[in-house]
Structure 1
Amino acid sequence: MIPTSPDLHELARAIKAWGRELGFADVRIADVDLAHAEEGLQAWLAAGHHGEMDYMASHGMKRARPAELVPGTVRAIVARMDYLPKNNEPGSAWRAREAARQADPGAAVVSVYARGRDYHKVLRNRLAQLAERVKREIGEYGYRAFTDSAPVMELPLAAKAGLGWRGKHTLLLSREAGSTFFIGEILVDLPLPIDEATSGHCGQCSNCIDLCPTQAILGPGRLDARRCISYLTIELKGSIPLELRPLIGNRIYGCDDCQLACPWNKFAQRAVLPDFDERNGLGDASLVELFAWEEEEFNRRTEGSPIRRIGHERWLRNLAVGLGNAASSRAGDPAIVAALRTRAEHPSALVREHVRWALGQHGA
């Protein structure tokens, strides 16, 4: 039985408290009217800015219509979970550490969010526990929990719920936590009281736009994913465009540059769950070290990691680009050249092509 109106207010307060007990830093509630986001989605898809991410277009405007995805839906419970690994000091220190890694041509830079356990699994599990806790309280009701796993516009939902605002880089920003967090949702058929959206606080700052290595951010809120290093190293299945390879530097999985440039990330919060602790030394590994992983070792070390999804072939492709770019300050480095030559006859044409390019950068 669905609770009465006064009980719904109490239930909403309880849901937020249960969410915090499960490791979520903030839990809020929004209605599911995203009509305001449809025009922008249509324009982005029409411009081809989604690249090879066909799944972004396959459901049409259903992404902006959660009630079509899950009939009966009237609210979204939206939760935030911080992911900064515990070995990173909050404030400016963690950003300085990451900048130093990027400046080291031999370092392999993996996006901070991907150094621990796959967030999809962590958040889905915790959201499922939260949904079940509600069921124990009120009985059967309609719901569906997900995180980055269903055709719905999660960031507009989170902004509408008041978890933050969309920054100029398109990521969600919070005054309390910057942007180093994951979000997940539970679509429900309960008419819970909704929270207020928050206003934007980017002001005149354009750091994320100005400092994007590939100039993928075309303007405030306008991202061409085809130029984004995260897209190039994770979503793109084929050859990385020649003109973009030098701009990738030593970033081998994802890119944090727009987050490192954002002043709000001095408020980034460390994770409360150990799931996001760094694994396999991915915060300190070298390009040569990771390039030596054979497929069996790659699969073993990335078990339970978001990195597993790109597979060993694209892992080597990305590392080859990083090793080629190391020539900017370490041209002809014997260790790098020797490492690249071990893959010169790799069975994958994709790997061989990127290795040849990298060797060419070293004049080898």
Structure 2
Amino acid sequence: MTDLKTQLEAKALEEGFAKMRVCRPDAIPQAAGRLAEYVAKGRHGQMGWMEARMGWRGDPTALWPEARSVVMLAEPYTPEIDPLEPLKAQDCGTISVYAQNRDYHDALKKRLKRVGRWLLEQVPEEEIKVFVDTAPVMEKPLGQASGLGWQGKHTNLLARDLGNWFFLGSIFTTLELPADPAEADHCGNCTACLDICPTDAFPAPYQLDARRCISYLTIEHHGPVDEALRPLMGNRIFGCDDCLAICPWNKFAVEAREMRYAGRPELQSPKLAELARLDDAAFRTMFSGNPVKRIGRNRFIRNVLYAIGNSGDSGLLDTAQGLLDDPDDTVKDAARWAVERLR
């Protein structure tokens, strides 16, 4: 099994993954309790899916009882430019690094399946299941239990040899592979990720209240955003990378090998005035195959209008006024707010 694991790791690296580690499905016994507490406090906001399958999400052994090993893999998507720089261009919007090109789920899952198929060729009597983010799997605790990295104070996974710019994928298998030791915490006294958060979304180190997180507000939250939070969102129109970008461990980040993760120039710092003119058809065309498409035109334009309201650019007043009669009530509310701010 040790030799097979070594060969599996070599195959994973060959396919483009930067790191592979293994843990047991029962390696995160604390996860279920922490998840239950998180949901009980309402910190998941409108993400009802976190509560709906809590039994599976909190216990990988319940998700697939036959599994004996979890293979955790990291794939870098390190940005070419500092994600904090576009925040200075107030007439432009900022889109999270991971969403500036093709949807990572497809590329990552195909790569996972190739690694999984290779494993089944070696042990055809065994079974596998591959997961990328969309299944009730707590990848970050499993990543720490496997030794892939540790969950930092910003709750994201980071590693001493990768920084925190990487996607996570997992292969559950009935094969019993040698497990790796869990990774220890290496954040020390650093609080950079907590200090930079525009909305104070971290009640304490290692805790996140999604209801204040800009990534949640711009992507998962339906309807109008609390008016007290809107000014704090700045020009972030899809996601937020501040806590990731500021992490000092990124000095060890490795270059992304997948070209489909490189930011499209038109999405790295798009003009707010141009985005605000998108109707549903134009929105779908512009974001075809892109993660932004998932939130739909109306929620996206809502975010764009909040950014326009925060721009301080009176030249965008006409743009905001043009959406005061939009068919969507949330867009109309955002347009009203933006107009009042610019006036």
Count the aligned residue pairs: 342
Residue 9 of structure 2 aligns to which amino acid in structure 1? K
- Counterpart of 1:81 in 2: which secondary structure? strand
Shift of 1:294: 2.3
Name the CA distance, whole Å, in 1 between partners of 2:125 and 2:281.
45
Residue 44 of structure 1 aligns to which amino acid in structure 2? Y
Residue 67 of structure 1 aligns to which amino acid in structure 2? T
Structure 1 alignment gaps of length 5 or more: 1-7, 89-93
Q: Is the Cα–Cα contact under 8 Å of residues 153 and 206 in structure 2 kept in the other structure?
A: yes
Give per-residue Cα distances to partners, 1:169-217, cap 9 Å, x unaligned: 1000111121111001011111100111221111001111111100001
Name the CA distance, whole Å, in 1 between partners of 2:333 and 2:291.
25
Shift of 1:17: 0.8
Matched, 1:263 2:263: no
For residues 64-83 of structure 1, the aligned pairs below 5 Å read: 64-83=58-77
For residues 1-364 of structure 1, the aligned pairs below 5 Å read: 8-33=1-26, 34-85=28-79, 88=80, 94-95=81-82, 98-279=83-264, 281-327=266-312, 330=313, 333-334=314-315, 336-363=316-343
Name the CA distance, whole Å, in 1 between partners of 2:270 and 2:89.
11
Structure 2 alignment gaps of length 5 or more: none
Give per-residue Cα distances to partners, 1:207-241, cap 9 Å, x unaligned: 11111100001111110000000000000011111
Instruction: Give the TM-score of the pair, scaled to structure 2.
Output: 0.97
Name the CA distance, whole Å, in 1 between partners of 2:267 and 2:280.
17
Mean CA deviation greater in 32-41 or 220-229:
32-41
Q: Is the Cα–Cα contact under 8 Å of residues 161 and 196 in structure 1 kept in the other structure?
A: yes
Q: Is the Cα–Cα contact under 8 Å of residues 31 and 59 in structure 2 kept in the other structure?
A: no
Shift of 1:322: 0.2
Q: Is the Cα–Cα contact under 8 Å of residues 237 and 304 in structure 2 kept in the other structure?
A: yes
Q: How large is the Cα RMSD of the aligned pairs?
A: 1.2
Instruction: Give the TM-score of the pair, scaled to structure 1.
Output: 0.91
- Structure 1 stretches of at least 4 aligned residues deviating more than 3 Å after TM superposition: none
Identity over aligned pairs, percent: 38
Shift of 1:280: 5.5
Q: Is the Cα–Cα contact under 8 Å of residues 209 and 218 in structure 1 kept in the other structure?
A: no
Q: Is the Cα–Cα contact under 8 Å of residues 141 and 190 in structure 1 kept in the other structure?
A: yes
